[in-house]
Homo-oligomer: A and B are copies of this chain.
Amino acid sequence: MRGIAAARCGTDTPAIYAGTMCRFLAYMGEPIFLADLVCAPAHSLVHQAMHADEGKTPTNGDGFGLGWYAERPEPGLYREIRPAWSDENLRSLCEQVRSRLFFAHVRASTGTATTRANCHPFGHGQHMFMHNGQVGDYHRIKRRIEELIPDDLYGSRLGTGDTEAIFLAALADGLERDPVGAIGRTLARVLALMVAAGSRQPLRFAAAYSDGERLICFRWSSDARPPSLYWRQHQGNVIVVSEPVDARPEEWRAIAPNHVLIASRHAAAELRAFVVPQAEPQPA
């Protein structure tokens, strides 16, 4: 009974995997109020927090986060543990803050504690990252994944989740100078750790990265079922979403599995195949 109680109470879930099946959106373009995407549309991200259609879980009530670029190189972050749908501050911020590049994320935890430090997006200097997916058997390889973070970045590990660890590892793998290559290298190393641990779970990865100038969104999975990811471009404004935020599906294009969307303030968005290389052998 105890195990069940634990599981039902959603605390230390004996989780088959411990990624987070969440929903997110990313925007880059002419400055708009966050509310225009986060709160207003019929199927806005805040609405998806309670009524997601394509996620593993319809409810994404384990915290949320906003990240936006304004006048500083570093993004602003607002992350909170209560559900997005009941957060007065979220609404006020979204109605006041106008940004040319922002992320929003609603979280559905599958085992990791609901703390601000575990909410997306994650920031490090000018870099911002968020993720939706799963790292198979994360609990078993958590420590190995954390070992991918070099000492000089380990102090920036404020939470306990898989996404933050992958983000910091990717920074060490060259995220700034070569985002697509760095994510590939990091995922390869994570995959190798899963294999080494005998995991039969998939590594599923939908993610968004920005340095304030570029928006790069990944859709990839080690099996045939990557998390959903859609995008739309209109007059140079790019929106990427886990699910369309309105009832005009024709305007949204799915990002093909194992592809990456690369957009920048100075060039049109393009899609490329995204390949995760064979892992380099891990240092013993």
Contact = CB atoms under 8 A, between A and B. Distances in A.
B76 A8 contact: no
Contacts of A95: 2, 5, 72, 74, 76
Contacts of A115: 113, 115-117
Interface centre among A8, A10, A39, A113 (most CB of B within 10 A): A8
Interface stretch (A86-94, A222-230, A253-261): A86-94
A6 B92 CA distance: 9
A206 to B, nearest CB: 22
A194 to B, nearest CB: 16
B9 A90 contact: yes
Given A40-B1, A155-B139, A96 B71 contact: yes
Nearest to A35: B5
Interface string A110-143: 0001111100000000000000000000011011
B77 A89 contact: yes
A221 interface: no
Nearest to A36: B1
B160 A91 contact: no
Interface stretch (A42-50, A185-193, A231-239): A42-50
Interface stretch (A21-29, A56-64, A274-282): A56-64
A54 B207 CA distance: 36
Given A142-B155, A160-B158, A160-B159, A92 B113 contact: no
A98 B72 CA distance: 11
A262 interface: no
Contacts of A2: 95
B113 A158 contact: yes
A80 interface: yes
Contacts of A79: 88-89
Nearest to A156: B12
Interface string A67-107: 01011101011111111111111111111111000000000
Interface of A: 1-2, 4-6, 8-12, 35-36, 39-42, 44, 46-47, 50, 58-59, 61-62, 68, 70-72, 74, 76-98, 109, 113-117, 139-140, 142-143, 151, 154-155, 157-160
27 contacts: A4-B39, A5-B35, A5-B40, A8-B44, A8-B85, A9-B39, A9-B87, A9-B88, A9-B90, A10-B91, A12-B158, A61-B83, A61-B86, A62-B83, A70-B97, A71-B96, A76-B95, A76-B96, A79-B88, A82-B82, A82-B114, A86-B109, A89-B116, A115-B116, A117-B160, A143-B154, A160-B160
